[in-house]
Amino acid sequence: MNALDDLIESFSRLPGVGKKSASRIAHFLLRNDRSLCERLSRDLSVLHDRIRPCSVCGSYSEEELCPVCADPGRDRTLLCVVEQPQDVQTIEAVREYHGLFHVLGGVIAPLEGIGPDQLRLSGLLARVNEGGVAEVILATNPTVEGDTTALYIQRILKGLPVKVTRLASGLPVGGDLEYADRLTLARSFRGRTGF
């Protein structure tokens, strides 16, 4: 049955979907009425045509400007630098941050051949140089690559009239000292805050 096997094969290429899950999903779609199947097919067919990078921040957008960049209510003195467009969505979902974003499109990873030139760094420098930005918040992941990238950006912004900060790293809320890894615990000591 090619149509079914093809679909299972396609689904199993998605992240987090193994052969068994792909088969389960395909059979679920066959068993149920065809509307979900058609809807998913339609959503997929228009995705790449509808979504493009925002011309300012590099996040995903359906317009020239993404909803955040286009929103006059955002605090334009704050610029949060993230690795990927989905990080913007993750941060937006928390509703804690009300400034603008800048998406790098990756991190410095020499082993994968990704250097500073492949990231959207000139755009970041241009935005800071334009003026109006008071603080750049480096929100790359707390990984080796994310830390390296944050350090690199901190250096190229040195000398510019802008405050550069990094997201706090430490114990996750609701976590347990006992289960914290050594690096996280060490960092939570170094970053300890006063009452």
The site for a copy of itself (CB under 8 A) is made up of: 1-4, 6-7, 10-11, 13-17, 21, 23-31, 34, 36-48, 50-51, 60-62, 66-67, 84-86, 89
User: Rounded to the nearest whole angstrom, what is the least distance from the CB of residue 37 to a copy of itself in the complex?
Assistant: 5
Residue 104 φ/ψ, nearest 5 degrees: -75, -30
Query: For a copy of itself, which is the closer residue by CB, 41 or 55?
Result: 41
For residue 173, the 8-state DSSP code is T
User: Which of 74, 117, 76 is CA-nearest to residue 92?
Assistant: 74
Distance between CA atoms of residues 18 and 24, nearest Å: 10
User: Rounded to the nearest whole angstrom, what is the least distance from the CB of residue 80 to a copy of itself in the complex?
Assistant: 18
User: Rounded to the nearest whole angstrom, what is the least distance from the CB of residue 60 to a copy of itself in the complex?
Assistant: 6
3-state secondary structure of 176: coil
Cα three-residue angle 71-75-76, rounded to 5 degrees:
85
User: Rounded to the nearest whole angstrom, what is the least distance from the CB of residue 6 to a copy of itself in the complex?
Assistant: 5
Query: For a copy of itself, which is the closer residue by CB, 4 or 126?
Result: 4
The pair of structure tokens assigned to 33 is: 């009425």
Query: For a copy of itself, which is the closer residue by CB, 37 or 134?
Result: 37
User: Rounded to the nearest whole angstrom, what is the least distance from the CB of residue 58 to a copy of itself in the complex?
Assistant: 12
Q: CA neighbours within 13 Å on the CB side: how many for 11?
A: 22
Query: For a copy of itself, which is the closer residue by CB, 35 or 193?
Result: 35
User: Which of 125, 71, 80 is CA-nearest to residue 100?
Assistant: 80
Query: For a copy of itself, which is the closer residue by CB, 120 or 187?
Result: 120
